Structure 1
Amino acid sequence: MMKKNLLKSWVLTIMVIVIVSCNSNNDIKLPEPNVISYPGIPVLNMKDFKLPACSDYKVEEYIISGNATSYMQTKAPDGNGVWTVEEKDTASYVSRIVVMKPKDDSKFNGTVIVDWINVTGGFDFTPSRNMMWKEITRSGAIYVAVSAQQVGLVGGETIGGFAMPLKERKGGRYTQVKHPGDAFSFDIFSQVGRFLKGDNSSVVLGKLKPKHVIALGESQSAFYMCTYVNAVDPIAKVYDGFFIHSRLGLGAPLEGVDIIDFVNTTTPMKLTTKLRVPTLVFTTETDVLGVINEKMGMIGAFLARQPENDKLRIWEVAGTAHHDSYLHKVSRVDTCGGSYADIAKAYEPTNKMLFMKLDKPFNNAPQHHYVLEAAMSALQKWIGEGVIPEKTQQLEIVVDSDNKLAAHAVTDELGNIIGGIRSPWMDVPVSVLSSQPSSESFNALLIGHTEPFSPEKLDELYPGGINEYLQKFENSLNKDIMEGHILAADKEEIMEVARLSYKGTH
């Protein structure tokens, strides 16, 4: 009897220890930044960041600070691409976030999009926001841009060879910022997401509580996002989904070295097959093929292709360039006060970009913008409603027999790439829309080119003139809308811009 009671006592003791241990783990306070409102006009994309007066959104800035942790990889990824990492060092930081949210709380749709700010140009830049701000705002999402990396805050090495960090801005608005290095960027990004989902989020969100928080990164930031997904997300478990925009074939080093030290790597990074949450990878034609010349070699995403699964979708979009006329021109006029005529004019082919003159007009494919918006909408439905996007076909390419790191597009008789996510601009074309640069200059590498068809060629393709063209265009557009690759909300604008842009002779 004593033995039985003693055994029961031991079992109860072990159960108590387990319960206490579990409760203790749940009570552990994971790191969040200190967040304080920072009145005034934030600097973003090299200038004061203001929304047009007609916008129903407002912009706010906050200073964030705290102690961030770096990580180290302790062994090579396993067969599923699962990384084994552990915490390494801790260092203090002072950074900022820029927040775009509805003026009317009732417009909030429950989604917060957290964007890892791009610093490739040596300054804080938000290309994904520029390219899909319309869908972000009309859907009612809150957008939060995070200055996660060193270059944008305090300077450092860049591809272009110069930096314009916030700390050196005239007027001294950001003299307090400091950054311990990009090895700590991953945890800074985690801390922002954790804060937005936590009890203290009212500092930024007021009474609003997010249902879902999505991580977003474009280009260099997408390189970091791939590493974050593989190495940090299994530990941090903060974000409810990932939107990886224009990743090429790269992943950033966990150690946070300068970009010059890793963009020329020949080792692609695939995502783990054990993804924790829905992940959508949006790749342009440029990203799939890569950029390789004498000055810079960024390997293509074709080297990192992998099977999709119930947590992964990869959209390869035909005819698109890494950067294009929407980012550099159209987004400036495509505001709540912009007309269809203004948008159509901004899409006109040109070889003039900023202060440069290129050999050919750069890529003016509208589908990058419109399909990107649909992709963000699809990811939100996936996370919120469990609606998994249908699988899509890959772009058709041929790998170079002499250089396995290089690939070329397989094109149709008109010169446009075959396969991938189609669009009216591919299936009912008025030009060649290519990711290939028009010259070997550094400035032309990422923006592709456009070759408009002559009026005679348009007459040959559409002998019924603009009416035939628009009918075929609308049929293709309706198919894309039905498949979820373009949003119905964009149809009227797309059709009218197509009408205004058609250059046929009758």
Structure 2
Amino acid sequence: MKTSSLFSLIAAAGLVLLTACTSPPETRRAPMLDVPAARLAPISVPGTRTFGASPEDLAVAGYVEQEYSVSGVANRYAFHDLMQDAAVIDGGHAYKTRIIVRRPANAARFNGTVIVEWFNVTLGQDIDFNWATSRGHLMREGYAYVGVSAQRVGVERLKTWSAARYGDLAVVAPETTPKDPLQAGDALRWDVSDVLSWDIFSQTVKALREPGAVDALPGMKPRRIIATGESQAGRRLTQYYNAIDPLHRLVDGMVFYDAGYNTWHLLRGDNPTRLIAVGSEVHSDGRKPVADGATTRRWEVAGTSHLSLWDMQVVDAMTTRDQGLKRRDGTPAATVQDLIPGCQHYPLWSAVPMHKVLNAAFDHVKRWVDGGPPPPAGKALERGADGAMLRHDENGRTFGGIQLAEYAQPTAFNLGYRNPGPVFCRNGGHHRFYSAAELKAIYPDPEAYVRRVVETTNANLAAGYILAVDAAETIKAAQDLFTQR
């Protein structure tokens, strides 16, 4: 099939999605809590640089990166019920942290949407996994991006990394004790720890919407703000969605990347904030599928690990440069894989391109909050008889869910979650690209292979799980596979 014909099919499928009927958004309840805007100030300390700065040259894409301090006075909250509004305990707790802003250098390119990421701190430092995943799409489409250091672990690592630049940051306040202890065995203890994180995130969003003396988005007026987070950050945003967001409605939508909510991470059904949770095999296995709500969707992607090879190309470049990762014995580690010894299969990370699904999720939520059509329904991976454990064949391949062409017609052996070894091996998955000889044996008819890729890709495009530009990339790669060998 000629390239021009393929792009015609892609364009036609995309037109169907864009011209679907729209419906007005639901009426939002009036805010119950007035949130002050945080104070912003540029961070500029001679002889130092931004921790976690992009390792890629953003100027090539017409973007700039800037770092700001964020300060204010926060409340502490009590969480007495997973599905109800949080209650203010007290206020007056001063904090100072930082944000990283990546925005179009030319304000005219701004598409009106700000993605605000809650930095993940599971590895002892701030990591912007969602930026790493969807960076190309966000810059191509003119999104602005803000990463927030909301938690103590990340802030404390900043201070030890550069006392000159970050020594005056502080986000500490006494932990709270819930009236009814919730998930007492959970080490994250979202309900009692990082008590200032909720208002840090909210007040940062307010400062983007209503800038004071310092505007982090000069010449750009945000029309919609989408909160996002990966893994632990997504789980904290789950509770933000359930208990904090209903108090003030500062964000318009949310996109989670492998937040892994199950029976204790359910989403309340009366929150009009639009949300798509994109999940890998790692956080789907052992959990029963969660049904869609009026304003929520959950997509599960076959063959995907907790992080993908695409994500880690940028994350590894950043962590290798900054040398902020630490092993259990305190010695430095260059990459995340260095922290995960003892797995049966290396290298880690599935090569199935999760970013293509996450890209679509961001665009769907953007349109959805504007009153556009609801996103595609949730698509779950197949479970076994217990309704929770994923079904898989003898090679570890799973069934159902969103099946990208890169998994359905693979050019690599990919494991999403079945990498034996210590616990984090399961998160890491595995990939091994097939040799030229293997590819010829698997696909003796290259034209038939390309046809299957086109069929799978156009089906996912028509369903709304990927975007036209990513579909075109998949098909082009399939066309080039045998001609380049």
Which of the five TM-score ranges fits, normalised by the shorter chain?
0.7 to 0.9
Aligned to 1:420: 401
Match among 32, 36, 39 for residue 31 of structure 1: 36
Aligned to 2:290: 306
Contact 2:32 2:247 survives alignment (8 Å): no
Give the Cα separation in 2 of the matches to 1:84 and 1:53.
42
Give the Cα separation in 2 of the matches to 1:26 and 1:376.
25
Pair 1:468-2:448 in alignment: yes
Aligned to 1:167: 159
Aligned to 1:162: none
Q: Pick closer, same or farther for the CA change 1:431–1:277 going to 2, 3 Å.
A: same
TM-score for both structures, normalised by structure 2: 0.77
Aligned to 1:478: 458
Q: Which range is displaced more, 417-426 or 57-66?
A: 417-426
Aligned to 2:249: 237
Deviation, 1:458, is 4.8
Match among 62, 65, 76 for residue 71 of structure 2: 65
TM-score for both structures, normalised by structure 1: 0.74
Aligned to 2:169: 177
Aligned to 1:450: 431
Give the Cα separation in 2 of the matches to 1:121 and 1:133.
21
Aligned to 2:5: none
Match among 190, 200, 208 for residue 196 of structure 1: 208
Q: Pick closer, same or farther for the CA change 1:44–1:104 going to 2, 3 Å.
A: same
Residue identity in the other structure for 2:459: K
Give the Cα separation in 1 of the matches to 2:115 and 2:213.
14
Q: Pick closer, same or farther for the CA change 1:331–1:94 going to 2, 3 Å.
A: closer
Give the Cα separation in 2 of the matches to 1:503 and 1:285.
33
Aligned to 2:6: none
Give the Cα separation in 2 of the matches to 1:363 and 1:501.
22
Deviation, 1:374, is 1.4
Pair 1:276-2:272 in alignment: yes
Deviation, 1:285, is 1.0
Q: Which range is displaced more, 484-493 or 210-219?
A: 484-493
Show CA shifts across 1:92-147 (max 9, x none).
10001110000111000000111101111101110110010011111101100111
Tell me: higher relative CO, structure 1 or 2? Use CA pairs within 8 A at least 6 residues apart. 2
Deviation, 1:208, is 1.4
Match among 473, 477, 480 for residue 497 of structure 1: 477
Contact 2:85 2:242 survives alignment (8 Å): no
1:302-381 residue pairs with structure 2 within 5 A? 302-303=287-288, 305-329=289-313, 353-354=337-338, 358-361=343-346, 362-381=348-367
Deviation, 1:436, is 2.2
Q: What secondary structure does 1:329 align onto?
A: helix
Give the Cα separation in 1 of the matches to 2:371 and 2:218.
25
The higher radius of gyration belongs to 1
Deviation, 1:49, is 5.8
Deviation, 1:321, is 0.6
Contact 1:416 1:432 survives alignment (8 Å): no
Deviation, 1:212, is 0.2
Aligned to 2:103: 101
Q: What secondary structure does 1:99 align onto?
A: strand
Give the Cα separation in 1 of the matches to 2:77 and 2:435.
56
Q: Which runs of 5+ in 2 are unaligned?
A: 1-29, 174-193, 318-335
Residue identity in the other structure for 1:192: T
Aligned to 1:7: none
Give the Cα separation in 2 of the matches to 1:481 and 1:214.
23
Give the Cα separation in 2 of the matches to 1:151 and 1:413.
40
Deviation, 1:408, is 3.3
Show CA shifts across 1:418-445 (max 9, x none).
1111211232234443222423224423
Residue identity in the other structure for 1:196: L
Give the Cα separation in 2 of the matches to 1:377 and 1:332.
27
Deviation, 1:399, is 6.0
Deviation, 1:477, is 1.3
Pair 1:409-2:390 in alignment: yes
Contact 1:66 1:94 survives alignment (8 Å): yes
Pair 1:89-2:75 in alignment: no
Q: Which range is displaced more, 431-440 or 126-135?
A: 431-440
Residue identity in the other structure for 1:85: A
Aligned to 1:13: none
Contact 1:414 1:432 survives alignment (8 Å): no
Pair 1:51-2:57 in alignment: yes
Deviation, 1:328, is 1.9
Contact 1:50 1:59 survives alignment (8 Å): no
Q: Which range is displaced more, 408-417 or 180-189?
A: 408-417
Q: What secondary structure does 1:224 align onto?
A: helix
Pair 1:143-2:148 in alignment: no
Pair 1:386-2:372 in alignment: yes
Q: Pick closer, same or farther for the CA change 1:356–1:244 going to 2, 3 Å.
A: closer
Give the Cα separation in 1 of the matches to 2:158 and 2:395.
46
Give the Cα separation in 2 of the matches to 1:451 and 1:29.
52
Give the Cα separation in 2 of the matches to 1:146 and 1:426.
33
Aligned to 2:7: none
Q: What secondary structure does 1:39 align onto?
A: coil
Q: Pick closer, same or farther for the CA change 1:27–1:171 going to 2, 3 Å.
A: closer
Q: Pick closer, same or farther for the CA change 1:441–1:500 going to 2, 3 Å.
A: farther
Q: Pick closer, same or farther for the CA change 1:234–1:399 going to 2, 3 Å.
A: farther
Aligned to 1:397: 383
Contact 1:42 1:61 survives alignment (8 Å): no
Give the Cα separation in 1 of the matches to 2:64 and 2:199.
27
Q: Pick closer, same or farther for the CA change 1:166–1:363 going to 2, 3 Å.
A: closer
Give the Cα separation in 1 of the matches to 2:283 and 2:377.
19
Aligned to 1:11: none
Contact 2:350 2:415 survives alignment (8 Å): no
Q: Pick closer, same or farther for the CA change 1:185–1:320 going to 2, 3 Å.
A: same
CA root-mean-square deviation: 3.1
Show CA shifts across 1:41-90 (max 9, x none).
75344x6766344231000111111111111134x35xxxx314310133
Pair 1:214-2:226 in alignment: yes
Q: Pick closer, same or farther for the CA change 1:177–1:193 going to 2, 3 Å.
A: same
Percent sequence identity is 28
Pair 1:440-2:442 in alignment: no
